[in-house]
Structure 1
Amino acid sequence: MISVIIAAHNSELTLGATLAALVPAAIDGIVRQVVVVDGGSTDGTTTIADLAGADVISTAHGRGGQLAQGAARARFPWLLFLNADTVLEEGWERSATAFMRRVDHGERPPAAGAFAFRLDDKGLAPRLLERLTHMRCRLWPMPYGDQGLLIPRQLFDAVGGYRDLPVLEDVDLARRLGRRRLAMLDAQAITSPEPYRRDGYLLRSLRNQVCHALFGLGIPVNVIARLYRLDPAS
């Protein structure tokens, strides 16, 4: 059984679709709790979450801290972390259930699973970025937040969970999990292309890679955050 944790901030345009994709799994009893952690939205985000029956937490803006607080409120043995602009494709729960069963039955060591990256956009640039992400995940599983993360609560706690970082909280957790405890699920997470459309696919992608490289070199996250130019809507 899964507790879903969603970090949101001014997400009224996307949150409804993110929540709707969870309904079939909720009907089947797979998703048992949804926690939306709002980071000070000034739009209808919390109203949408409340009407959908989610547990709503209000806190300071910052995805790492928001996800950590959501995890603290979770009641079930598996945690699924999602961005508020990411929609899991129809039937995602079949892949997730198969993965959870293998871990729970001891058929594989405890691990976290992430979904295949897909952008809700047309054209060559999004397809190229998807392919490059797919290749990266095959060579070195290092999922980002827009791919979701399905993880046993015990493993999440054992590695220290999400840290309250201004950026790269997803990369930080993935590094602590390590390659052997990360797996790619056979289902897609479809995410909003808005940041790429706004900044340009090439510029956004290059900036992300530079920030990840700096993080790997041990540059302080607060310095990287200034380079990252945090998005107001993120």
Structure 2
Amino acid sequence: MTQPIISIIIPVFNEAAIIQTAIERLKDNQDVEVIIVDGGSQDRSVELVLAMGVSFAERGRWGDGENKLKLMIASEPGRAYQMNAGAAIAKGDILLFLHADTQLPANYQSLILETLSSSQVIAGAFELAIDSQTKSFRLIETMVNLRSRLLSLPYGDQAIFLKKSTFDKLGGYPNLAIMEDFELIERLKSHGKIVIASAAVLTSPRRWQKLGVWQTTAINQLIILGYYLGISPTKLRNFYRQIGRNKKF
């Protein structure tokens, strides 16, 4: 029996500091296709990706159709658009959406196949671990993993995965300025179970470190509340960016 192919889609924007490490971790994995979708980086991200022997997509045509490492330049900015663009050209049976600063567990392939083998399961994700010894992060991890399991509500940094046929049937990620992963999971929940695999991804603490652990947590909850109250995703994104600009370093 042929092993299902997993297409790993990595949306990228100004990730020159880490993108080669992210690709290096995945490039030798069997039965895996890696698609990097750049959203208009202004640093050396694209140059560094191409330096690793990645095929470049220009106007939808691949230089080497058999290369398992592929780079796509999105025609529009925005994470949702980038992930949908990557999914559109993916050849895999299963899609895995991965942040560039997140590392998958060693046995991620078998866990994904096991999770999706049940007819009742429509999608999955991993538990979250944060790459820092700071004690406050242990509480964040506990909160995230409880939310994920009790509410079936993982977020994008937990590496959401599902069958490509399911993704296509639902129309992919909604093209929102923010909260696109939240909205996709809510739609998926009405069609089947969301399962959290019994292993954790390891993600960078950088987004919490930028504004502070508890400030970031509070802001995230405010954005979720605002989304529930009907505030437009564009306004919520601008609110988040404004806070980041006003932060003194």
TM-score normalised per structure 1: 0.88
Which moves more between the two structures, 215-224 or 195-204?
215-224
AA of the residue aligned to 1:109: Q
The counterpart of 2:91, out of the listed 75, 78, 87, is 75
TM-score by length of 2: 0.83
Equivalent residue number for residue 21 of structure 2: 17
1:212 to 192, 210, 224: 224
Cα deviation for residue 52 of structure 1 reads 5.0
Superposition pairs of residues 103-122 of structure 1, within 5 angstroms: 107-122=118-133
* Structure 1 Cα separation of the partners of residues 193 and 184 of structure 2: 11
State the distance in 2 between where 1:200 and 1:92 align: 30
Residue 177 of structure 1 corresponds to which residue in structure 2? 188
The separation in 1 between residues aligned to 2:99 and 2:133, in whole angstroms, is 21
Unaligned runs of 5+ in 2: 55-68
* Alpha-carbon distance in structure 2 between the residues aligned to 1:23 and 1:185: 23
Answering whether residue 6 of structure 2 is matched by residue 2 of structure 1, we say: yes
Which of 215, 220, 227 is matched with 2:239 structurally? 227
Query: Runs ≥4 in structure 1, deviation > 3 angstroms?
Result: none
Larger mean CA deviation between 108-117 and 146-155 belongs to 108-117
Confirm or deny that 1:187 pairs with 2:199. yes
Correspondence for 1:45: 45
Q: How far apart are the structure 2 equivalents of 1:130 and 1:23?
A: 28
Q: Shift of residue 35 of structure 1?
A: 0.9
For residues 185-211 of structure 1, what are the alpha-carbon distances to aligned partners after superposition, in whole Å with 9 as ceiling and x for unaligned? 122111111111110000001101111
How far is 1:23 from its partner?
3.7
In 1, Cα distance between equivalents of 2:47 and 2:188:
35
- 1:74 Cα deviation from its structure 2 partner: 0.7
For residue 167 of structure 1, give the secondary structure of its aligned residue in structure 2.
Answer: coil
Q: What is the percent sequence identity of the aligned residues? A: 30
Residue correspondences, number: 223
Equivalent in the alignment of 2:158: 147
Q: Point out where structure 1 has 5 or more consecutive residues left out of the alignment.
A: none
> Residue 90 of structure 1: SS of its match in structure 2?
coil
Question: Per-residue displacement from partner, 1:38-92 (whole Å, max 9, x unpaired)?
Answer: 0111222123333153211112321011111111111121111111111112222
Partner Cα separation in structure 2 for residue 19 and residue 200 of structure 1? 28
2 CA distance for matches of 1:187 and 1:48? 30
Q: Which amino acid aligns with 2:163?
A: P
Question: Which structure shows the higher helix fraction?
Answer: 1
- For residues 241 and 97 of structure 2, the distance between their equivalents in structure 1, rounded to whole angstroms, comes to 23
Distance in 2 (alpha carbons) for counterparts of 1:8 and 1:214: 26
1:66-124 superposed Cα distances (whole Å, 9 cap, x missing partner): 11111111112111111111111222222123223x1xxxx322511101111111111
What is the rounded CA distance, in whole Å, between the counterparts of 2:171 and 2:226 in structure 1?
Answer: 22
Task: Tell me if structure 2 keeps the 8 A contact 1:21–1:90.
Answer: no
The Cα RMSD (Å) is 1.8
Give, as a single letter, the amino acid of the residue that structure 2 aligns with 1:5: I
For 1:87, the aligned partner's letter is Q
Report the 3-state secondary structure (helix = DSSP H, G, I; strand = E; otherwise coil) of the residue aligned with 1:3: strand
Structure possessing the higher radius of gyration over alpha carbons: 2
Deviation at 1:13, TM superposition (A): 1.7
